[in-house]
Structures are given as C-alpha cells and as structure tokens.
A and B are shown apart, each in its own frame.
Chain A
Amino acid sequence: MATVPLRVPLEDPASVTVSRAHALWRTMKKKPLGAVSAALLAVIVLMAIFADVLAPYDPLATQPEIRLSAPSRAHPFGTDDIGRDVLSRIIYGARISLWVGMLAVGIGTAAGMVIGLLCGYCEGRLDLIVQRVMDAIQAIPGLVLALAIVAVLKPSTTNAMLAIAMVIIPGNSRIVRGAVLTAKQNRYVEAAQAMGCRHPRIIMSHILPNVTAPILVIASIWLGNAILIEATLSFLGVGTQPPTPSWGLMLSSTGRAFMEQAPWLAIFPGLAISLAVLGFNLFGDTLRDAWDPKLRRSG
C-alpha cells in the first residue's frame, strides 16, 4: 500500500508526490480520533491473532455449575448459560468477526473492482448491461438480500460471508467504475494507448494504481458494515451456528434470552460489535481524510 505513490493536486499547480503512509500519518497527527481508531483496530486484530494466548479459558469449555455467574475476578465478563467464560468467547469472537469481515469485504471488493474496471474501461453495451444488473441488486436492501441468499443456501458462517460479499459488490463496482472513467481521461493513459500498449497492461499499470485509494477507503468502511451484517445474520439465526463464538450469535442466543437475569451476556458482545464497527468507521474516515485529494484541498 505504502509503495504506490499518490498524486495529490495542491493549490500550487505543481504536483507533489506524497506517500500514502505519510499522508495517513499526517492526518492522524492532526486528528487524534483517527489514531484512537487505529489503536482500537490494532487491539481487535491482535486479539484475534493471539486469541489462544490471551483468552483465559477455552471458549467452548462448558462448566454448567457456574452458569450465568456475574462478572468477577475469575471471569471478568461473567459466564454464559452453560458456564463458558464470556471474555474468552469475546476474544475468540473477534476471529470470526474479522475473518468474516475481511473475507467478505475481500471477495466483495475484488469482484466489485474487476466489474468496475471492465465496465469503466470498456464502456458501451457491456457497461450498460452489467450496471443495470448491479442497479437491480442494489435496489434490494443489503440485509434483505443477505437474508435471502443465506435462506437459499444453508445457515453457516461461510454462506453468511458470501451473502455479505454479494451485498458489497454492486456499490464497489460503481465506485471503481467512476474512478476508472476519470482515470481514463488522463494524458498518460492516452499516451499509453498511443504507444500501442495492450489493454490489460493499461488497466493494470496505469489505471488500477489510480483507483486503489477510493477502494481502500470504501473497503475499510465496509469492514465495519460486514461485521455488523454478520452479527445481524447470526442474531437472526442464519449466520454462524452454535457453539462457535460469534458476537452476533452471543447477543441473540444467550444475550437476549437471559437479558434480565444476566445482562452481561448482552452488554459485552454488544459492546464488542459497537467498538469494532466504530473503529472501522472512524478509521475509514481517517483514510478518506488522508487520501482524498478534494478533502485535503479543502482543509
């Protein structure tokens, strides 16, 4: 990411090349909320990677004798309906959430990028047909579409992931298509065409590097949404299946059922979802501030 130079038009007509990492660093220094969100995400990512080390208990190990125990020193987030440690399940739940989020967004972004690149570059009939299909998919609310896909397939984490990816594709393809159409106007693209460069090379070497910034910004925001959709699907019983520790599932299966007797079962998974979504959203904003030339100019 940091190796791709970003051409940022400034007030001064002379262009200056600033590395993306540097631009991000400068924005974070100016807006500490961005740094906080980055730290929050780092914590979640580290939690997911080192869950085996960090979790005090096996997230699946049941101990019904201490079921629904309130938060204590031994179990800081309490225990659930069959005596599993909630903290450990939250820590392991980060893996599911991040895994689903990243993979779904990865698939959605990659597919959206390919479609957007082809439509934007080729234009014409292909663009017209494909974009109408995208319009049709976009007309269906995201959650309803995801629910329909999972209902047709079978309730599972993998299918939830595919459903989320399907929700992401149309929006991403539109954004990439727009960026490609703009990038195509650049003289260096015309020059490459005049020099007889082949289309794949023009796309890969001259257009793609110039559309990655918006893709990364959108992907970071989508990560938060994907986590939320996964949680919602699991909450509705069509996503991750028990006993896998998923934040959404924890919230629905035990959090809702035992809300009065053991409110910590709803509060902690809910908080985890909120923080993850908050982190990704704020980080997405920071990326946009850092990499969007228009925003940089205005402020």
Chain B
Amino acid sequence: MPATDPRNRARRRVTRREFLERAGLTGAGAAALAAGIPSRRAVAQQAGAFPEWIPASTKPAKRGGALTRASAWDPPLIDPRLTQSVGLYQFAGLTSNRLVRYAFSDEASGPSDLGLKGDLAESWQSDSANRVWTFKLRQGVKWQNVAPLNGRELTAADVKYCFEAYAKEGVQTFTFQEIEGMETPDKHTLRIHLKSPNTLFPQNLAEPIALVFSREVLEEDGDLKKRLIGTGPYILKEHTRKVRIVLQRNPDYFDKGRPYVDEYVILSTPDAATRLAAFRTGQSDFMWLASASEVETARRTNPNAVVQSYHNTLAPFGLALAQDKPPYNDVRVRRAISMAIDRQKQVDTVFEGHGIPGWGVPYIYYQDKAPTLKELGPWVQYRPDEAKKLMAEAGHAKGFETTLFYYEYFPQMTSQVQLVQQELKKNLNIDIKITKLDYTTYYGRYVEGKWDGMSWGFQSGHAIGLDERTYHYMYSKSTKNFFRVNDPVIDDLTTKLRRTSDRAEQRTITKKIVDREFDQVLRMWMPYDNGFLVFQPHMRNVAAGALRRTDGYGSPTLARAWIEK
C-alpha cells in the first residue's frame, strides 16, 4: 500500500517525537484559550441574593423515587462509638435514632429554632436537682427487620446497653461517663442518674453522635464496623468504602408514612469539580458550595436550581496554638498573633463577603444577632502596630520560627492558611513552616494533642448543644478540649452554666464565657464561610436549619423530604 494512503496514515503508529510535537501544539492552544477567559469577578457580581430560609412545602407529600448525592466525605468506619466523622453521620442519622432531637426544617419556626423534640423518647423530665433524668420511650418502635434484630421492639434496656457501651470505649466516652447509673423501671422508661447536675443533658443526647445502636450486632461482631442496624427511616443496604452508600426505605419506621423517598444513594466524590458535574448532569440532587461565584457558575447550566443561603451560628476552625508551652502560654503572644491577622479581609475576599469572622460558641445562646467583628473584642481587631508592641513586651521583638500543620477541608482553607502565614511573617516576623497532611494523619495528630507550634484546628462540627460547645470543649480536663484551654475562670463558668436552668442566666453566663475566651485568646477562631445549599428543583422539604446542614450531620431531616416530579 502506498505511503500516502490515508488509511495507512491512520493506522501508522505515532512516534514518540511526533507525540511530543503534537503535545507542544496542544499546549500552545491551551495558552491561547486562557487569554480569552471572561473575568470571574464579573461573574461573581452577578450572584444575586438567595433566601436564607425555605419554608415547608404546603403541598401533600409524594411517595417514591430515589435521591442521590455526590458527597465529599466517606466514612472511615461505620462504628458510631469510634468516630465523630461527618462521613458516617451524613447517613447514620437516617439508619438510627436518638432519644431526643432538634426540630426538623419543616417543623421549625425558622433557621434558629432550638426547640427539642422527642425522637425515641416521647417525653423527658428531670428531678429538681437536675441529676436524675427520666425518659419515657415511644411505644411500638421496632428495630429494622434485618437479622439478628428481625424487627423486635426497642426497649429501655437497649438504650441503657448502648449508653453503657459509649461510656466504656471510643470517642463519646466523655459525654457518657457523666452517667453514674441507669435504671429501667419498665420496658419503656429509662432513668439516668448523673454524677453531677446538668440542666443541658438532653441537649447532649440530641447531638447526632448520640444515636442508639443495636445490642445484638455489637455482641455478635464485637464491634459495629460491618453492620449498622437501627430504628431509623432507612436501612443500610450497602457500604462500599470510597464508592457508595445505599439506603433503602424502612417500611416499619415508627413515623408512619415516612420516609417518602424509597432510596438514598451517597456517592463518594472527593473532587469538587466532579461533584459539580454530577449535579449539573442530574446525577446528584443537592450539593454544598462555599461561595457566590461557585453558585453562579452552577446556575449557568442549571438555572432552575434552588439555592439556600446558609448562615452559620459558629465557626468550627481556628488557629490552634500549643498554649500549654512557650511562647503561646503567654497571653501577650496570643493577643499579638490574633491582632496581626486581618479577619475582615478573609471574609471579604476568600469568602466573597458571605462569611463570619469566627467564634466558637453559637451566638444564639447569648445574643439574638450574629456578632460583628467589633463586638468580639479588641484582640481580634487587625492592629499590627499594637501587635508588634505586645510581641516586644513578651520578649519576641524579632519573632520566631514555628510550624503549622493542617488538612484541607475545603479549598478556601488553604487560602486562609497562606494568608495567615504571610500576615504573621509581615507583621510579627513569625516564620511558619506549613505542612499539609492527609486527613487520617492530620486527625490523629491533632486529636491526640501531642503537637507543638500551631495547627489549623477544629472543634467537632457536629455539636450545636450549649454544654458540648462550652463545658465539653473548654473544660480543662475534657478529652474534647482540643485547643488545650486551661483556664480556672472558664472551668468555673462552664461548670456553673450546666447547673443553671434559667434561660436568662444561661445567656448571661454564656456571654461571660465567650468574653473570657476572647479576652484571653484561648481559642483563636478564624473566619468561616456561610455557604450555600443548592438543590435540584424537584426536591421538597430539604432546607437546612441554622443548626445543621442537610447534607452532613443534619441528614435525619431527609426522612421528611420528597421528590416532586
């Protein structure tokens, strides 16, 4: 066949050199393409205002259909005793119940509705000293019809066993070791005796991590790493690590008629671009986006997508310092570092104005409106000159070298870490060597608490309860005190708070805790995005409350969602 025959040319192997030449031409083309990209700023400016609250649908609910969500998270394991990971609780709240819960989005009066509702419990009350709490369980609640439970009735003894197991080992021990003893006077009554008074105890049991698991599975398997059987609206049908989670409707769920959707599939999708592509092509029904410009990008192809503008009540991330060691055990150093960071600039730029400057205790517990940066006190204001003076007073006029490790929970976090590094270098001559770690290494090192220098730290995102956010996270001897707070005033105030039942007094004490925290810079909170939840237009009753997002720890609310197609 002649060499000029096109068929021959098509079949001819491309030599390495030819390949390289063609690659070069492709690269040049890509560069030319980049020159013609429209301005992102212009796109961001088009992002209009989105509603903060989507009220419950007034139409009758529809049964059937399947929901799918491309998820950033994957459960490291499915044993609720051993992890607080959002990867697990993005669905565990659908397979299992708690004794009490916060209001779902369709029954809440607004995003900040903090009213507690019964979940497995119908009612609950304490003695006058707030040391003995009695929970009356709902009757006729059945475990899922899966071996070895086979749909038997839930009893108070099941809950007692579960709470004892939590106290024995795992990450929930601090919460449940508070229990001195439990009694079950009858099949549907659980009486809990606490070691010390706690008016906020039911709130702790409403946390998504306090779900009730089955005794039989733990006894048969020795752990809950393979099977998670509960009383919840969905049955866990499949969990393939880093692939997908499949949940199927539980026909015996105690809340008759619910859930409405037959199947909920969570696809493990760590890459943000893939999640967006899945939403665009209808393979994912809802997603989380951090910035208005990202929302606008998504709406270019999906103009009918429903967007809820979220408003956080707290920031889970902050600059954690090894404050039990020099130089961070000096409050002047902590204050100087805090004043050398321009938080407002982060909110305005990294979060495109849709963010909060950062605080750890939800503001709804001590004031009605989200605090402004100014209200958070003098040490969070950007005052580099005063910061320099304080550093000099503390004997660090020339700065120092330190390290910072972090895990990139979302891309904007890397932007924040680098901005802080540059500001501390510029303003205080603190030389920070950054190490970006994988999730497992980061989580282990941070939670273990044996690190020096700095970390881009967190307090678990699941918690919204006042006791969890104050006593559990700030009391000096708490195992959840990741920021290493060791302040006698805080110890005293947080203990006093949990012994106070009067709401007004609770607010006053909480404010004192927050003021003390900011005055001593015990936890250096960093700005956090408010973000947006984006839904396909056919979804109903999926709005997020102020307490939790629907896609993460707030997943139980999905039992009340339906598809209108």
Chain B binds chain A: yes
Q: Which of B27, B33, B273, B419 contacts A82 (CB 8 A)?
A: B419
Q: B74-82, B333-341, B381-389, B429-437: which one contacts chain A?
A: B429-437
Would A71 and B34 be within 8 Å (CB), given that A62-B418, A261-B43 are in contact?
Answer: yes
Q: Which residues of B contact A241 (CB under 8 A)?
A: 433-436
CA distance A281 to B271 in the complex (A): 31
CA distance A74 to B447 in the complex (A): 45
Q: How far is the CB of B183 from chain A (nearest CB, A)?
A: 51
Do A242 and B418 touch (CB < 8 A)? yes
Please tell me if B315 contacts chain A, counting CB pairs below 8 Å. no
Task: Return the CB mask of A73-104 against B: 1 if under 8 Å, else 0.
Answer: 00001100111000000000000000000000
Query: For window 208-224 of chain A, which residues contact chain B by CB distance below 8 Å?
Result: none
Do A267 and B273 touch (CB < 8 A)? no
Do B294 and A261 touch (CB < 8 A)? yes
Q: Interface of chain B, helix or strand or loop or mixed?
A: helix
**Closest B-chain residue to A272, C-beta based?**
B27
Task: Return the CB mask of B34-56 against A: 1 if under 8 Å, else 0.
Answer: 11011111010000000000000
Q: Which of B34, B272, B346, B418 contacts A263 (CB 8 A)?
A: B34
Please tell me if A145 contacts chain B, counting CB pairs below 8 Å. no
Q: How far is the CB of A271 from chain B (nearest CB, A)?
A: 5
Q: Interface of chain A, helix or strand or loop or mixed?
A: loop
Q: Which residues of B contact A253 (CB under 8 A)?
A: 408, 411, 414
CA distance A27 to B37 in the complex (A): 41
CA distance A33 to B16 in the complex (A): 13
Do A67 and B414 touch (CB < 8 A)? no
CA distance A155 to B273 in the complex (A): 25
Do A82 and B37 touch (CB < 8 A)? no
Q: B18-26, B488-496, B508-516: which one contacts chain A?
A: B18-26
**Closest A-chain residue to B38, C-beta based?**
A70
Q: How far is the CB of A172 from chain B (nearest CB, A)?
A: 20
Please tell me if B30 contacts chain A, counting CB pairs below 8 Å. yes
Chain B residue total in the interface (Cβ 8 A) = 46
CA distance A154 to B412 in the complex (A): 24
Please tell me if A23 contacts chain B, counting CB pairs below 8 Å. no
Q: Which residues of B contact A118 (CB under 8 A)?
A: none
Q: How far is the CB of B325 from chain A (nearest CB, A)?
A: 21
Query: For window 255-284 of chain A, which residues contact chain B by CB distance below 8 Å?
Result: 256-264, 267-268, 270-271, 274-275, 278, 281-282
Please tell me if B57 contacts chain A, counting CB pairs below 8 Å. no
Please tell me if A285 contacts chain B, counting CB pairs below 8 Å. yes
Please tell me if A68 contacts chain B, counting CB pairs below 8 Å. yes
**Closest A-chain residue to B437, C-beta based?**
A155
Please tell me if A254 contacts chain B, counting CB pairs below 8 Å. yes
| Among B27, B433, B438, residue most surrounded by chain A Cβ atoms (within 10 Å) | B27
CA distance A74 to B408 in the complex (A): 30
Please tell me if B417 contacts chain A, counting CB pairs below 8 Å. yes
Please tell me if A65 contacts chain B, counting CB pairs below 8 Å. yes
Do B23 and A260 touch (CB < 8 A)? no
CA distance A154 to B37 in the complex (A): 38
Task: State the A residues within 8 Å of B (CB).
Answer: 33, 60-62, 64-65, 67-71, 77-78, 81-83, 154-156, 237, 241-243, 253-254, 256-264, 267-268, 270-271, 274-275, 278, 281-282, 285
6 A-B pairs with the lowest CB-CB distances in the bound complex, closest first: A257-B411, A64-B349, A267-B34, A81-B415, A70-B39, A274-B27
6 additional contacts (CB under 8 A) given A67-B415, A243-B422, A278-B27: A65-B348, A68-B40, A70-B38, A82-B422, A257-B411, A281-B20
